Each structure stands twice: as C-alpha cells, then as structure tokens.
C-alpha cells in the first residue's frame, strides 16, 4: 500500500507484531506510541496517512482523544481491541475495528477501508 502509519499500542509485544505486519503489508511505521500523551503528541506533529489505535491504553485510559484529534485533522484510523467493539459503533460508526488477536488479512482489510474513506 505504500502508506505511512502511526501505531498507538501499549503492549510492547503486540506493537512489535503489529509493526511487522504493517511492514509486510507495505506500510512505513512513522512512530509507535505506548501512552496517551505520546500518542497525542505524535498525532499532532507526525506526518502519516493512517493510524492504528489500541482502544485501551494501560488498562485505564482510552485512545479516544487521539481518535478525536485525528478526525479533526482528517486522518483516518483503525481501532484495535480485544473487547467487544459495539461501544465504538455509537461514537465512531465509520471507524474500522480489528479484534485482537488479529490476522494480517484482517488488518489489511481494515486499513484499506479506513483509507478508502
């Protein structure tokens, strides 16, 4: 796909797996953030085409402020979650969701949907 992606994921092993999958899919990972604060900073300053956002950061914080910032910037994103995605459908009905543990094909399809608008 040849696009630049921001990853916000608090689990280091999941982040590494995700980064490998993205590279295999032809993406360039511009930054990996593990906390809300670093994710917000990257979302404000980095140049990227799409983001993958872990919904639950650190067990207590949600990535929703990052998603809202990306919406304002017009940058598409994909949510990654190990929980029931139905709560996301109300607030972010157009955001693709990948359920953890996810497969490369699921990630590819969600990213293609996000980038298609």
Enumerate the domain spans of the chain.
4-116
Cβ atoms of 6 and 43 within 8 Å: the answer is: yes
Other C-beta atoms closer than 10 Å to the C-beta of 90 total 7
| pLDDT for the residue numbered 45 | 94
| pLDDT for the residue numbered 83 | 80
| pLDDT for the residue numbered 67 | 97
Nearest to 113, CA basis, from 98, 99, 96: 96
Q: Which CATH architecture has domain 4-116?
A: 3-Layer(aba) Sandwich (3.40)
**Which residues of the chain are under the pLDDT cut of 50?**
none
- Mean pLDDT for the chain overall: 93
Supply the pTM of this predicted model: 0.94
């Amino acid at each position: 796909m040849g696009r630049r992606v921001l990853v916000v994921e608090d689990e280091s092993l999941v982040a590494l797996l995700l980064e490998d999958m993205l590279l295999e899919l032809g993406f360039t990972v511009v930054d990996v953030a593990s906390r809300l604060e670093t994710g917000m900073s990257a979302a404000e300053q980095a140049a990227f085409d799409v983001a993958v956002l872990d919904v639950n950061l650190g067990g207590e914080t949600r990535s929703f402020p990052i998603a809202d910032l990306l919406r304002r910037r017009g940058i598409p994103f994909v949510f990654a979650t190990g929980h029931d995605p139905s709560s996301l459908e109300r607030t972010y009905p157009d955001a693709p969701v990948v359920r953890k543990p996810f497969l490369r094909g699921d990630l590819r399809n969600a990213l293609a949907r996000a980038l298609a608008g």
